[in-house]
Structure 1
Amino acid sequence: MIQEITGQQTVPIGDAVLSTLDTCIGSEICEELWTAESRHVAMGLDGVEIFTNGSASHHQLGKAYESVDLVKSATYKSGGIYLFANQIGCDGDRLYFDGRSKIAINGDIIAQGKQFSLNEVEVLTAPLDLEDVRGYKNQIKSRCQSILHFELQTSVI
């Protein structure tokens, strides 16, 4: 069906983002948040405003503080909303997932789930305004230069 609509036989591999009339949503997987070249950086420069991460980050002492810093940092530098959903419970072997899901906007954590919750499901909600994201992005002067560099780099590839 997609081949008929687009007329394509092949599709280049890369980040898949969902563009709607109102915004653009991108997704990272667990480990990508922790890497030096996190995907949210390039996606943010490419217009993504909402980032999701369905994580399976196991419990380790001090890791909860690191995840807070990483989620905040993901939106502080270039603006945006980050939805970090982490698993809860034991994998049946040796790993325990401590939950502590988070919602951040423009460098601030605005909602955070419980750590070590005994509930099977925990739902976080927060009031968010995309205009706050757009205003924040427009205040970052170096962002324009970064976008230009990003576009030149990706057009060469």
Structure 2
Amino acid sequence: MAMGDQRTNPITPDGYAALKARYDHLIGKERPEIVEIVSWAAGNGDRSENGDYLYGRKRMREIDRELAHLSRRMKWSRIIDPATQEHRDRVLFGATVELADEDDERRTLTLVGDDEQLPSEGRIGWTSPMARALRGASVGDVRTLRLPAGEEELEIMAISYPDFAERMGA
């Protein structure tokens, strides 16, 4: 990411909490444990054949890379709560969309931040080709999704957002 790049990372409150929890776990638990193992292993003499030392150093580099990645993602995050979406008649960030293809096969997808996507559970990233094709659509609109295998026509059957009261546990 270039220094002047002000690209934001839209994310739901739950998605941001998950990023922060992972960061906190790495910095507060995993990294200190690895530092302790490396320190102990370093005191055992020859480091060139010391498996604990070599593995610990490798794992510490992996943790540090992940911490840097998580830190950047959180820094650029823009938390958007789908429950507060005003324009509920259009597909915007956080929308749950029911789609029908040309064969009237139905599927339901939710547009979430790229860091919280899980396609197997119907959560697709905001910058994915599918999400880009659906953005701004209303019920009844037909959108064309261009895939390597060809084009697919998708009709928007329903759009919903979480209810704010429901989200707040009321």
Could you say whether these structures have the same fold, taking a TM-score greater than 0.5 normalized by the shorter chain as the test? no
Larger Rg: 2
Highest RCO, 1 vs 2 (Cα 8 Å, sep ≥ 6): 2
State the TM-score, normalized to the length of structure 1.
0.24
State the TM-score, normalized to the length of structure 2.
0.23
